[in-house]
Copies of this chain bind each other. A is one copy, B any other.
Amino acid sequence: MENRKANENNCCPPEDNRPDLRSIEGPEADEELAQMLKALAHPARVQIVRILTRRDSCICGEIVDVLPLAQSTVSQHLKVLKEAGIIRGEVDGTRVGYCLNQRALRRFRALVAGL
């Protein structure tokens, strides 16, 4: 039995859970969608999201250990995901814990579902 709840992240500040009122289509939505697609369009970044899904949160070093890539490369991929709003990072001393931004992921799924 796990002591985590489905709607909580265990490493980052609580999320904004207000509903997303933005439209699912139109020029802005197209741009937004393309941007998120681009951020995810790399096997390593898909894997990172998968890892965070399983672990619920994860420090950077663990991801580096799992992926067959140099530390700097992983850091670069994390940056791409973070800038797209898909993940969030929380500094904890010398470590950095990353977790999914569930709100952004919901938005992404909604945009894809609208295709």
Query: Residues on A close to B: CB < 8 A?
Result: 25, 30-31, 33-34, 37-38, 40-43, 45-47, 49-50, 53, 105, 108-109, 112-113, 115
Contacts and interface: CB of A to CB of B under 8 A. Distances in A.
A25 to B, nearest CB: 7
Contacts of A37: 37, 40-41, 46
A96 to B, nearest CB: 22
Contacts of A45: 34
A34 B45 CA distance: 8
A50 B30 contact: yes
A6 B1 CA distance: 44
B115 A105 contact: yes
Scoring A42, A46, A49, A108 by chain B CB atoms within 10 A of each residue's CB, the highest score goes to A46
